[in-house]
Structure 1
Amino acid sequence: MTGLVDFLSDFHFIRPVWLVAVPLVLLLWWRIRSRATARPAPPRGVAPHLAAALTVGEAGRRRLLPIDGVMAAVVFASLGAAGPAWTRVPSPFVSQTAPLAIALEVSESMMATDIQPTRLDRAKHKILDLVATRAGARTALIAYAGSAHSVAPLTEDPEVLKPFLEALSPEVMPSDGANATAALELARGALAGQEFQGAILFVLDGLDAVDLPAFDANAAEDGPVVVYLKVGGSSDLRVPSGSTVVEVTADGSDVAEIERRVASAWREALARDDRQQWADRGWIFAIPAALLALIWFRRGWTMRWSVAVAVLLVFAGDGARAEGLTDWFGGTVAGWFLTPDQQGQIAYNNNRFAEAADLFTDPTWQSYALYRAGKYPEAAETASRLDTADAAITEGMARLRNREYRAGVAAFEKALERDPDNATAAHNLEVAQQIVTYIERVQEQSDTGEEAGIGADEVRFDNESGRGTETRITGDEATKEMQTVDEWMRSVDTNASVFLRTRFALEAARPTP
């Protein structure tokens, strides 16, 4: 139902002037058909009943005529030329899914076992499943009980969220309770300043009445869409009217429903962005027009004047895309009609980035797809061979993701050399320089470098920046503190829990401004 509402609200014609042809065509059809089906005057001197018996072909006058198929084809072609549209053309620089802030209730009630193994454990599993389905989308994590705390800011890497999510428990929270109002405020802050308005997901087992006014105010201010995933608790969850409540299920239907709601929020935000072009769907009407035109090969069903009109209208919508063919045919058949780059664009638009990277022959789009697929070294290598500012930006972003910070700075500098007025390159360069400065400051304070080779006879930490002092560790010292994999994993889990408990306690003790 949500998809239908989105469709109806955004549907329009890009070139509505072509719709003028529709009533003209219908008028012409009525005039021609009325003449073709008009009864001839009865012959003089013949009785009416005898004239009717002697008239040949009278019963066939009400059957389909050539003008019927011709005019139907021309009407469909006119609608296609008008450019029906209801979605925007995706941008390679914009995530294809709305940013999402997840607020997880971490209270004592979430430890109930009415949902196995516990409500909290099931909630964590559902969050991980949801993040896995949002390829390349940004997700933030917030935990709340008696107070609310930001666990992780918006990130495209699910591996960043996983260790902190697993470390969450009522023991790390400063106080028990369920302060959803504070969590809502943090979630709105996490989404503030985003290019497109995101959505908020509350994973909880209940909502106190005292929190309802905050959610009502968010809806009244046209704030981010709020979706609720109910994990156990009472049968009824009190939420603002019109809100979406999804019950946790044993299968993935609940995650799919949440993703549909979040995707709907993204489409609504994208539809309001005038910087992106509308996706021309005129090909939808071109298909029935072409099928109707097939009957023109039959003798007696061709009207020569209409052929030129139909062809003109079919090709009038120069912005129509062939990508819709894949909705009707499989990939093999689509290959007969579409170039590899067109097939790659379709895969890219559907978030199949790895497949798109294999299909693209255009190196620019191939580098975009490799970056979105998480193949950062390959994306940087492909983009580095191109001589455009956009390619240098892609290279820089891939370098940063691959933790090649100084190489990322160099790539953004290269982009500015090619296009001094490129605001994206300037912003990214500033951010990359701040990252390098931060790393060097930490290096100076810890008196270590960024990389260490464990197991060598002598390990020298990187000190390329010249800050801090050179540090050497002999092979025996380097291997003395090595841990097994199980020991290392246990230490990571313990450290994450201790880290969160300490940080949350400090934040809770901080005076309220």
Structure 2
Amino acid sequence: MSAFWNALHFLRPHWLWALLALPLLAWWWRVQRHRLNAWQGHVDAHLLQHLLVRGGGAARAGMIVAALAYALAVLALAGPSWRQGDQPLWQAQRPLVVVLDLSSRITTSDLPPSRLLQARAKLARLLDARAGSPVALVAVADDAFTVAPMTDDAANIRLYLDELSPEIMPVDGQRADRGIASAARLLAQADFRNGDILVLTDQAGDGAANAAAEARAQGYLVSVLGLGTAAGAAYRSNDGTIGHAALDASSLRAMAAAGGGRYEPATPDNGDLAALGVASPALETVGASATPGGGKAWRDEGYWLLIPLMALALLWFRRGAALILVGALWLPMASPAQAAGIDWWQRGDQATHARLEKGADAYRQGDYPTAEQAFNGIDTAEGQYNLGNALAKQQRYDDAVAAYDRALRLQPGMADAVANRAAVDAARKRPPSPGDGQGKPGQQGSGDQASSGAKGDPSEGKKAGQPQPASPSSQSASTPPSGKPGQAQAGKDAQPPRTPPKASPDPAAQAAADAAQRERMRAAVGEQKGSRTQPASKDAAATQAETAEQRERRQAVDAWLRRVPDEPGSLLKAKFRLEYERRQKEGR
């Protein structure tokens, strides 16, 4: 108990001055009651005390209850506290966008073993130092391309570090101004009003200082890390010509000065990153502690005093009204609606979000009827889109198309809803093929089926045949993310694949050739083991039982899958090339 009294204090002690008004209020209340006595003006004071039947006990009790309620209210407002608890602290971390020069000049070896390897090492150290803070990466040559958008997970960017090279860029060049402009757009799109841009290059080309000044006007500071030495070294460009690249420190200082940042040449240690001030993000912490992730704070326990305060407030109601009030407060908690899962203390958007989470969990576990029940009735684009996915998984294609249509009416141009609706519509219009086995979910169908997934499931088609999105944070429609379950983030690259070309020009001849090859393989195995024949394996029997049409479909899907790149470098190169071609067509 002594420890409790030692720890007891008030978070807002100035409210305790209000207790000084309690004696004044008691005196004023007594004077008012005395003045309101109707007999006082008609009977002499020495006779009045003998004529009145005083109810002094009830009056004094009422005054004591009122004084006690006032004291409890003041103490609650003062914020009594006697224990500490973990308190998450709000932090404002300055975001950082790294602009890496991937022109052919970065292969110069004046920073052994090369500028490129030194830049990768710098990025790895920078990501380690900024763990948990927002960072993005932009690659620039003749044009700028986003390698990774703004993210708090440095592992997403680490995936691409070893793949960064001039070979992934669609065209060679050195346009630092375009890289700075792209970085400023990323910060603005993420709703950051201030932030840092770090440019890794060896010289500032035309317009770089102006681009840095424009970024500074938007609230973004531009710093520069110089790659190379003043002496420089020879390098080979992408077209095979030999050039000489040297560090132009004066132009880099001018660009940093225009951007309001700093310039530092690259060093073997982390001194350059520390001098630039980008290694650890600036924190603006609000709370009782400056601990980055959280701290200890005194807990406001004043709400406990509200319980006796409300109990005293019931005494001011008329007789019987207190019981009615208690029953009215208990009725919502005892209502059957509570047993039905309705939380009376949730807002409408919170209840909708809870239903989306419940449906997403059921969808991931394969319980599609439960997911349908959770998504049904959510009149938002995300809810109707997820409902369509759950219905498509149950092969209820007409209902799924109707759900996608409702999602598109609520959010016109929703890319994933458009893609999945087209895939499901194609699946419901396709006549059943021989050998499909009653259309069991998971069977492969024709080329159209490959684009729509397992019997019209659009999400499976995306996993099986599409080029994966460049950003590792993107998710397919089959895996609803938390926050907005089922809402995919893919764009144009996430469209279902088109029907691949037929792989077998002569099915009958191919079937005969396959049968002859199987016979030769069985004979060879039998000779090695000293027996005439060997029983065919289950896979061989299944392959032999395939019809020509089914074999054609399987081979077409395999051919399409072999075309999908499975390396981060190949994905980046394909993405940058497509983006560059699109910009050229649009005249950008």
TM-score range, shorter chain: 0.3 to 0.5
TM-score (ref. length: structure 2):
0.39
TM-score (ref. length: structure 1):
0.43
The higher-RCO structure (CA 8 Å, 6+ apart) is 1
Q: Which has the larger radius of gyration?
A: 2
> Between Structure 1 and Structure 2, which shows a larger proportion of helix residues?
1
